[in-house]
Chains A and B, each alone.
Chain A
Amino acid sequence: MSNISIPQPNRPPHRLKPLKLPKQAWVDPPNPISEEPTTSQVILDPERLLSPPAAVGVRVAQPGESVSNNQTPETSNMDSYREILDAPLSPSVSSTTSKRTSLSAEISAQIRQRIRQQAKTMVKKKRGSVQLAKRLLRSQTLTTTSEIEEGALDNAAIDDKITTAIEAGKRFTTVDPSVAPETVQKSFFESLGFKSDKPEEPKKPTPVFFNRSVPRSAKNEDKFRSMLTTYGRIRLANANDEVEDPMARMNANMWTVTPERDYNVFMQREGRDRAFAKAGIQRTTEILTDQPLRLERDPDASFGLLDYTKAVNWHEWDVHARHGTEYFQLDLDLNRIEFDHHWLFSKEDVLVRKIKTLHHAITQTGTKAVEFGKKYLMDKVSANLRIMTDQQRAHSDSDLASAESTFGELLKEYQSLADAIEATWGQLLEERSHHKVPSTTLTVTKVDLPRFPDFEMLPEGFMEVPVYLLERVEPDEEEKKLAKSPKAMQKVRLQVLIFFNDILVCRTASVKLLPDFSVEFRKVYQLRIYEPPENIMLVIRENHPGKGWMELARVYVPFPEDLKVAELEELDFGSDVVVEGTSKYLGCGHPTKKSPCIAGRLFCRLQWSHTGPRIHRMLTPKSAQTMASEDDAKFELIPKALRLVSDEEHASDIRLEALSKRWAGGGVFQDNNHWIGLTSAEVDSSWISEGFKDETLTGLDFSMDAMRRIGNRYASLIRTHLVEQFSKDKRHKTHADVIKEVSLPTSFGGFGDLFGPADLSRKLKPMRTPASRVNTAVGKLRLVVNIQSAANLPERIDKTASTVFVECKFQNSTGLTLAVAGKSPNWQETLTLDVVAGADLRTIIDSLEVNVYDQKVNKLPSDDREPNSIHEQMEKTWLASLSVPFSTIYSLGKIDGILIAKRPLFLTGYKFPHQSSYIKMMITLDPPLTPPAGNLYANFLPGEPESIMLDAKRFESRVRAQFPERRIIGLVNDANGKRILPCRYLRPIKPPYVVQEVFTNVGSNQKAIELAAHMVSCIPFVTDPIMFPGVSDLWTTTEQLLTIGCGDEEEHAILLACWLMSLQLPTVLILGHSLPEGAKGAFVLVQINSHLHLLANASDGNVYAIDDPLCPLMTVGTVVTAENVFANIQKTAHPCLMDFDLKNKSNWDPLFQANRFDLATIQPSELTYTAVNEDILVELRTNLEREIKLRFDEARQYAIPQWNLMASRALREILVDMDNTTDIATATSPENIEYRLGQVLGAYKIKAVAFRCPFVSREKLVADVLRTNLHINSNRQTQFALCVHVQPFVNSIISCCVGVATLLPKHV
C-alpha cells in the first residue's frame, strides 16, 4: 500500500494547531447520509480530514487513542490495535518528535496510510455489516488476491477523497508565509547532499492555458455555458437537502438575518463537507460572542461622558474651556457624635458612660480571647497529630505553653473588667437610689455562657466567665414623665462645619443632643473637588441659649487612600472648653475640680466617587507614587518586543537634540545660521551644550562667579517655570500681534479733518504730528537717543574748562556726541543706534550704556630728530556713566527725563560737586512700538481668602480706571504662583550687625540708611528675558532672596524696607515708575524725623530727600505698608509734589477701608546672616586682579604695561581706609588722595581713578575697568597700578572697589 504515490502535504507540522470542533457535531451529522459510498457521501472523521497535518500532532502525541466515538465496542479496540501493529514505524514516530523535519516525509506517508485505513474501516462500517469487519479481520491473516484488488480499488477512491479533503482543509488553516516551505527548510538543514527518497511527484497540469480569441458563435456559446457552473435552488439534488441558517441555530436572537439567506447556494458552491459544522461556519466561533456589541440602553441614559454646553461667544472661549469642568466627588458620610463626657453629664451619666466603655472593652477582650482560644485549640489538636522530631516537639510545647499563659492573661483582664463593670453597676444602682428619679435607663444583666463541647479542651476558668448584656429599659408611663431629660439638654444643639483645604464648604443642620449624649447626623455630604485636597476639617460646635455658639473641637478626617468602600471611621476628639458645674451637672474642663474635659467620638466616613484616572495622580503623595513604581519594577512603558531602541539611545541622539533646540529657538539657532545635517555625525555637539558654553569663559572659573551664575539661573528658572505653568498659552499673542490693521477712518475724524484747525505744517512753522505706534517692528529697529544736557559733572581742579562728550553704546553699535565745554554741558544732540534684528524684543537683555568723558590733549614726549612734528595724544577721562535696560525703553515706549549718573569714587585732578550728577536725555525707539501687554495672571492660584481677593481686584480696577498710566498693584505673586497681598512681605527683620552698629553707635540715621541701601544694592539682579516687566511679577521672601543670591528691584526694596522697619523707622514701600528701572521701580520711603523724609532706591543704593525734584522716581503708583495698600489718586505723581499723609482718603485710595493688623506675614521672623568665606574673598581678589591685568595687556597690543607695585599698594590703602570710615566725602576729597599718593610717589605724575560697584560677574567688572579708558595711553613710559578691594557684607553680598592709576615719570 505504501507505494501508492500521493501528494505530500507541504506544511511544516509544528506550525499547525488542530481545529477544535465540538465532538457532538459528528455524532449527529446534519445531513442524512446517502447509502452509496461511491457517490461521495462518505463521512470521514473530520479531525483527520479537515486538517490532515493536525493529525500528525494528535497521533504522535497519543498513539493509542481510540479512534472514534461511534464505533461499536467490539470493533473499535480491535481496529485501533491493529492499526498500531500495522503501522511499521509507529513506535519510532512517537519517540522522534524532535526530528520531525527530517522525518516528516516518512511520517506523513504513514499518516496518510493510517487515514486511508481508518477511512476504509469506516466505509465498511457504514455498510452496516459487522460481518464485513470480521471478514476484513480474516483477510489480514489470509491475504487473498481478491482482497487486494478490492483494497486497491478502495484505495484509489479513498485517496481521491483524501486529496480533496486536504485541499479543502487548506482553506481553513492559516499559512504562515514567513516560514519557508518544508522542502526549503529541509535543504537548509541537511545541506547539499540531501537526496529525496520520496517518490517523484507527478506533474500536475497547469491550471491555466492560452486560448485564442474566437469569434462568437452558437457553438462557442454553448461551450462557454457548459463551462459555467450555476448555483441555485433548482440545482439542488433533492428538496430535502435544506440547509438551515447555521448562525440562527446558534443564537436565534442575535444572528438571524433578514431577509433570510439561502445557505443552500452557499453549500453548493463551497461543498457540503466543509461548509458547516453544527456549530456554524467554521472559524466564526472565535469571533462570536454572546454579548451584544451595542449596549442595551435607554436612549436618554447618561454615562458621564457628555456635558451640555451652551453656545458661547468666541471671546469667552477661555471661560468655557473644557478643563474647568473636571472635578472629583468626595462623599463625606457624617454619621454621629458620641460624647464620652459632656458638661451636661450628671454623676449617673458618668457611671453609665463608664459602664458602656467598660462593656466595649470587655467585648473586645472577649472576642480576642475567643479567637485566641480557637487558634490555641487548633494548634493543640494539630500538635498531637503531627509527627515531629524531638526538637520540634519541644518547640511546639513551649509555644503552646506560652499561648496558654497569654490566654490566661486575657482571661484575667476579662475578669478584672467584669469586676469593674459590676462595681460600677453597683455604684450606678446606688446613685439611682439616691435620686428617686433615675435619668438613665441602662441596666446590666449577667448571662452565663452556653456550653460548647469544643471548649472542653480550653484551660479551665474560661467557662466561668460572665457575659453582660446592656439594655435600655423602657420606663413605665408615669416614670417616663419624671425621667424626662433635663431642659438644658433639650436646648443644646450641635452643628458640624466642614472645611475643605481650610475653606468652609458646608455646614450641617444644628441637631439636638439625644438623651444618651449622642448626636445623630446621618447625612452624606457630597463635595465636588477641583483642587488637590490637602485636608478636610470638621469643626464641631455647640449652641446653648445664652452662651451662643461655642467651638468644641476641630477634627481632621484622613483621606481614604484608595477608592474602596471605607469603613465608618471613629475619630476621637477632645476639647478644653470650660463650663462651670452646677448641682445637677458636672461641667467640664476643670481638672482641679474633678470635672473632666469634654471628649467624644465622631463617626464618619470619607469616600471618593466620580473618579477618573487623574485622581490617583492627584491624591497619592509623591513618595507613595515612587514607592508604587518601585513595587512594579517590571512594568515597562514599551514592551520589550516592541522597543526599537533603548531610552538612552533615543534621548542621546545629538541630531534630534539639535533639531528640537532649533525648534525651541534658543542659543546658537537664534539667527538660523546653522544647518543641521542628515546624520548625527554632521552635528556639532557644542550646539547642544551651548547653553552652558557661553558662560564658561576663557580663564579660570572661580567660586564666587559660579555662585552668582547659579543664583541667577535659579531665579530665572523659578520665574520661567511659574509663567509656563500658569500662563494659558505660552505663545500669548493678541489679535493685533498677528494682523496689522489700519483703523478705518471714522466719520467724525473726517469732519475733524475738514473743520479742524487750518494751520498746516509749513516749512517755517513745523508742527508735531503724534507718532503712530506700530505693533511689531518690521525691518530695522533703531534706538534714538537724544542727549540734552548734564549737570554737576566733576570739574577740573586746574580751573580749565572741561570738554565733555557722551558715548552711547548699545549692543554692537556706538555713538558719540561732539565735545562741549563746561561743567554743565548742553549737547542737544541725537544719536541713533541699531538694534540687532531678528530676536523677540522681549528677550533683549542688553542695556544702553551712556558714558561721559572729558577729553584733553596731552603732549607726548617728542623726539628731537623730528623738529617739525608734534606728538600729542587725546586723553579721555571717564567722568560718569549710566545704563538703561532695553526692557525699560521698550515697555515705557519713551524715556524723557533726568537720569542720575554714577561717578567714580575719586578721580585725581577733578573736583566733585556735592550733588549727584545728572544727565537729561530722551530715549525712544524708531519706529515707535506699542509697549507689550503684561501678563494677566488669570491662572495664578488665589493665595488670599475670597473677600480679600475680591477687595484687591476691585481696588485695582477702580484706580486703574482713573489712572491707567500709574502702577497699581493690589496683589503680587509669591514663589508658589499664588496671588497674595504685598503687605505680607513687610515685616521688621533685623539687619546685619554692621547696619545696627552704624545706627546705634554713629547715631546718624541717614548714614545707616545709606549703608543699608548700598548693601542691598550689592545683591545682584536677575538678568534674564523672563524679568521683562509684566511677564512675571514674582516676589520671593527675603530669606529666598538671600539664599538665591539675586533678585529683582522689588525684592531688593522689600529687604531694605524690612531692615529699616526693624530700626524703628516708619517705612513704606513705594511702587511706581522710575528711571532707569522703568516699570519695576521700587523705592523705600523712610521718615527720619518730622521734617525729613528720605527716599532710598535699593537698586543703586542712592538716597534722596523726598522734596528732591531730580529724584528719578517719576510716578508714584502704589504705597504698601504692612497693614494696607494705598493707591495714589493725586493729580501729581512725582514724589516732590505729593502729599504723603496716607490717612487722607482724598489723596490716597486704600485697599482696606481700615488698616488690617491681622495680615500674617510670610517673611521669616529673622534672617541668619553668615559671614563671607575668607578664602573665597582672597581667591576672588587675586583672580580679579589677574584677570584685569590680562585684559590690560590684551588691550595694549603695542606695548607691555609696566605695573607699579608701590602705587598699587598705596591705592589699596586708600580704598581700605575708605571702607572703614563712614565719612566717605572727606576720604575721597582730592586733597586727601593727593596727599596720600604724593607721600609715596613724589616722582610721578599720577592719574588715578577708583569706583565702587556690586560684584555681579567677572566680565562686568572687567568691562567697567576698561570703561575708565586708562589703558589707552600711547606714552611709552607709562606705568600702571591696579588694586581691587573686596568688601564683604553678609551672605555672599560683596561690594567691590577698583582703583586704577597711570603713572608718568615727572622728570620727562
Chain B
Amino acid sequence: MAEVHVIGEIYSAHDFPDNQLCCRWQLQTGGGWRVISGDREGQTQTDLPTTEAAYFAHPLNIHLSTRTIQGWPRINIEVWHHDQYGRQEVYGYGTAFIPSSPGEHMIDCQCWRPKGTTRDEIMQFFVGGGLQLRSISALESPAERVKLQTVAMGVVKLRISVITRYFDRFGICC
C-alpha cells in the first residue's frame, strides 16, 4: 500500500474584508484511505491581528495510507470571522487538494462565501451573521456547486510538505 505524509501548516489568511479570523479545517479522503495518525479536523486559534493578514501557523501532521488513488485527500476550510461584538459568522469556504507531488508547496486556497437573496445580504450587512452551507458536501459535489452563487472573500495560504511512499511500486510517479 502507498503512504502519504502531510506535514505543514495553515499559514495565513489574507485579503478578507476583515482579518479577525479563525479557520476550521477538515481533511477529507475517499473510501480507500485511512488516517494512520494525526487529527482529521481541527480549528486554528482566532487571530485578532493588527497586521495586514491573519497568521495562524497552525500545524498539520497527518499520516495516511491508501488502497487506491481515488479520492485523493483534500482540505476543506471554513473561515470564521470574529466580529466587533465578539460574535462569529462564516466568512468563507474553500477547499484545496493535498499536492500529489512530494516536496514543499505553498497553496493558495481561495475562499468564497455563498451569496444569498437580497434580503439575506441586507440582513448580513446590518445585523451580521451570514449564509452557511447546510452541508459541507457542497464543497465536493459539482452538481451542488453549480447552483451556488458566491462572493469571493479572500485567500487562505497553506504551506504543505508532502512525502509519498511506495507509490512507485504501483507505477505511479508523483
Contact = CB atoms under 8 A, between A and B. Distances in A.
A209 B104 CA distance: 40
Interface string B131-159: 11111101000001011110000000000
Contact of B65 (A322, A647, A650, A663): A650
A660 B36 contact: yes
B37 A662 contact: yes
A303 interface: yes
Contacts of B131: 306-309
Interface in B1-48: 1-3, 31-32, 34-38, 46
B127 A310 contact: yes
B89 A305 contact: no
Given A306-B116, A311-B85, A645 B129 contact: no
B31 A305 contact: no
Contacts of B135: 305, 322, 326, 612
User: For B38, B83, B135, which residue has the most chain A Cβ atoms within 10 angstroms?
Assistant: B135
B120 interface: yes
Given A304-B134, A305-B134, A645-B1, A650 B37 contact: no
B1 A307 contact: no
A295 B88 CA distance: 31
Contacts of B89: 309, 311
Contact of A322 (B66, B69, B132, B170): B132
A313 interface: yes
A326 B65 contact: no
B134 A309 contact: no
Contacts of B87: 311-314
A303 B38 CA distance: 36
Given A311-B88, A637-B31, A642-B69, A305 B118 contact: no
B120 A660 contact: no
A650 B34 contact: yes
B130 A308 contact: yes
Given A309-B89, A644-B2, A645-B1, A638 B67 contact: yes
A728 to B, nearest CB: 13
B147 A305 contact: yes
Contact of B117 (A302, A317, A612, A653): A302
B100 interface: no
Contacts of B149: 299
Interface in A585-629: 612
A295 B32 contact: no
Contacts of A308: 116, 120, 123-124, 129-132
A322 B136 CA distance: 10
Contacts of B3: 656
B90 A638 contact: no
A410 B145 CA distance: 59
Contacts of A310: 127-129
B132 A306 contact: yes
Contacts of A309: 89-90, 129-132
B129 A659 contact: no
A649 B2 CA distance: 11
Given A295-B146, A645-B1, A311 B37 contact: no
B88 A314 contact: yes
A310 B85 CA distance: 13
B128 A311 contact: yes
Interface in B97-133: 114, 116-120, 123-124, 127-133
Interface string A277-314: 00000000000000001110001101111111111111
User: For A295, A313, A645, which residue has the most chain B Cβ atoms within 10 angstroms?
Assistant: A645
Given A305-B114, A309-B90, A314 B82 contact: yes
A253 interface: no
A638 B1 CA distance: 14
A311 B31 contact: no
A306 B37 contact: no
Interface in A294-352: 294-295, 299-300, 302-314, 317, 322, 325-326
User: For B32, B69, B89, which residue has the most chain A Cβ atoms within 10 angstroms?
Assistant: B32
B71 to A, nearest CB: 9
A1250 B56 CA distance: 66
Interface in A662-695: 662-663
Given A310-B127, A313-B87, A638-B70, A644 B134 contact: no
A325 B134 contact: yes
Q: Would you call the interface of chain B mostly helix, strand, loop, or mixed?
A: mixed
A138 interface: no
Given A312-B87, A650-B1, A662-B37, A306 B118 contact: no
A547 interface: no
A312 B88 contact: yes
A643 interface: yes
Contact of A659 (B37, B117, B124, B127): B37
Contacts of B82: 314
Contacts of A647: 67
Contacts of B129: 308-312
Contacts of A322: 132, 134-136
Given A299-B149, A307-B131, A308-B129, A659 B63 contact: yes
A294 to B, nearest CB: 8
Contact of B132 (A307, A317, A638, A649): A307
Contact of A311 (B68, B83, B119, B147): B83
Nearest to A663: B37
Contacts of A326: 134-135
Given A643-B67, A644-B67, A656-B65, A303 B147 contact: yes
Contacts of A649: 1
A642 B136 CA distance: 26
User: For A293, A299, A309, which residue has the most chain B Cβ atoms within 10 angstroms?
Assistant: A309
Nearest to B169: A644
Contact of B38 (A300, A314, A663): A663
Contact of A644 (B1, B118, B119): B1
A302 B115 CA distance: 11
Contacts of B124: 308
Interface in B75-101: 82-83, 85-90
B36 A663 contact: yes
B116 A642 contact: no
A322 B78 CA distance: 12
Nearest to A649: B1
A307 B134 contact: yes
Given A308-B116, A309-B89, A637-B32, A650 B67 contact: yes
A638 B32 contact: yes
A765 B144 CA distance: 77
B37 A660 contact: yes
A295 B149 CA distance: 10
Contact of A645 (B35, B67, B132): B67
Contacts of A646: 67
A322 B134 CA distance: 7
Contacts of B117: 299-300, 302
Contact of A306 (B68, B134, B136): B134
Contacts of A307: 131-132, 134
A311 B125 CA distance: 11
A326 B133 CA distance: 11
13 contacts: A305-B114, A305-B133, A305-B147, A306-B120, A308-B116, A308-B132, A309-B89, A309-B129, A311-B85, A314-B82, A638-B67, A645-B67, A650-B65
Interface of A: 293-295, 299-300, 302-314, 317, 322, 325-326, 612, 637-639, 642-647, 649-650, 653, 656, 659-660, 662-663
Interface of B: 1-3, 31-32, 34-38, 46, 63, 65-70, 82-83, 85-90, 114, 116-120, 123-124, 127-136, 138, 144, 146-149, 170
Given A303-B148, A313-B88, A314-B88, 12 more contacts: A305-B133, A305-B147, A306-B148, A307-B134, A308-B116, A309-B130, A312-B87, A643-B67, A644-B69, A650-B65, A659-B63, A660-B36
6 closest cross-chain pairs (CB), A and B: A663-B37, A311-B128, A311-B87, A300-B117, A311-B129, A310-B129
